[in-house]
Amino acid sequence: MFGKGLYDYYTAILEEEYPAVKTFTWMIPDGNRKRGLGLLKRTAEEGYYVQTEALYYLTQVYYLYEDDYPASRRYVQRLRERHPDNPYFHNFEGRVYARWNRWDQAEEVFDEVVARCENGRPGYVAHMEEIARYYLGRAHLYDEEYDEALEDFGRLERLTDRDLDNNRLRIRSFLYQGMVLDAMGRRELAKRKYRHVLEMEDPVGAHDRAERYLDEPYSR
């Protein structure tokens, strides 16, 4: 039931988002988005061995494809109830709130993640803090708490210094530091950050924004 649900849902999504794949998938059974969701929900309620997996994929599905954040929150909270010490699910709860633009709730979750990282809780490794710091910095920026935002993005920069080959969050740390500095009226320092972004490899599309903010300062 679980495997069939995944197949149905993701095959349908693939064909909806990339119609050209039908050229290659015509010989395999069609997916069905609604049926796939139904099977995943049944597994989440009735499955014994794969309930956690079903809850995880339902959280992902509603977060990424269905744009149904109340549903995504419902499933991620069930994951957290079952696995309260899992740092990935902990961060995921905060990401759901952030994507939903419920930044106060996101900040509360990520503050707890950072506290657990700083206290050395098992599994709460540096990368978990990197994710939390990124979202906390954004929350403080949007709340115009610029000193706190600068502290978060500065901490993110220092954390990501340990793994320069994986710079998806590192390049964002420099971009957002520039944005915060612009919001604080510290234009020359902001421009240095944007130029640093342009010197880095860009796996996340940060160069376009850095070039834009070099031409015209970031503003809320």
- Provide mean pLDDT across the span 9-29: 69
Q: Which residue has the tokens 């050395």?
A: 120
Enclosing H/E stretch for 147:
helix 146-160
* pLDDT at residue 77, rounded to an integer: 98
Quick check: 21 pLDDT over 70?
no
Q: Which residue has the tokens 């390049």?
A: 171
- Provide mean pLDDT across the span 46-67: 94
Report d(CA 81, CA 13) in Å as an integer: 29
Report d(CA 48, CA 175) in Å as an integer: 45
Cα angle, residue 143 at apex, residues 137 and 146 outer, rounded to 5°: 55
Check if the beta carbon of residue 187 is closer than 8 Å to that of residue 178. Answer: no
Amino acid at 53: E
Report d(CA 106, CA 93) in Å as an integer: 8
Three-class secondary structure assignment of the chain: CHHHHHHHHHHHHHHHHCHHHHHHHCCCCCCCHHHHHHHHHHHHHHCCCCHHHHHHHHHHHHHHCCCCHHHHHHHHHHHHHHCCCCHHHHHHHHHHHHHCCCHHHHHHHHHHHHHHHHCCCCCCCHHHHHHHHHHHHHHHHHCCCHHHHHHHHHHHHHHHCCCCCCCHHHHHHHHHHHHHHHHCCCHHHHHHHHHHHHHCCCCCCHHHHHHHHHHCCCCC
Report d(CA 193, CA 138) in Å as an integer: 16
Average pLDDT, the chain: 93
- Please name the residues in contact with 57: beta carbons below 8 A apart, sequence gap of 6 or more: 6, 40
* pLDDT at residue 162, rounded to an integer: 81
Tokens of 145: 């708490």
- Provide mean pLDDT across the span 177-192: 98
Q: What is the pLDDT of residues 127-169, one digit of tens each?
A: 999 999 999 999 999 999 999 999 999 999 999 998 767 789 9
Percent over 70 (pLDDT), the chain: 94
Specify the pTM.
0.91
Q: What is the pLDDT of residues 75-103, one digit of tens each?
A: 999 999 999 999 999 999 999 999 999 99
Pick the range with the lowest mean pLDDT from 26-35, 108-117, 186-195, 203-212.
26-35
* pLDDT at residue 104, rounded to an integer: 97
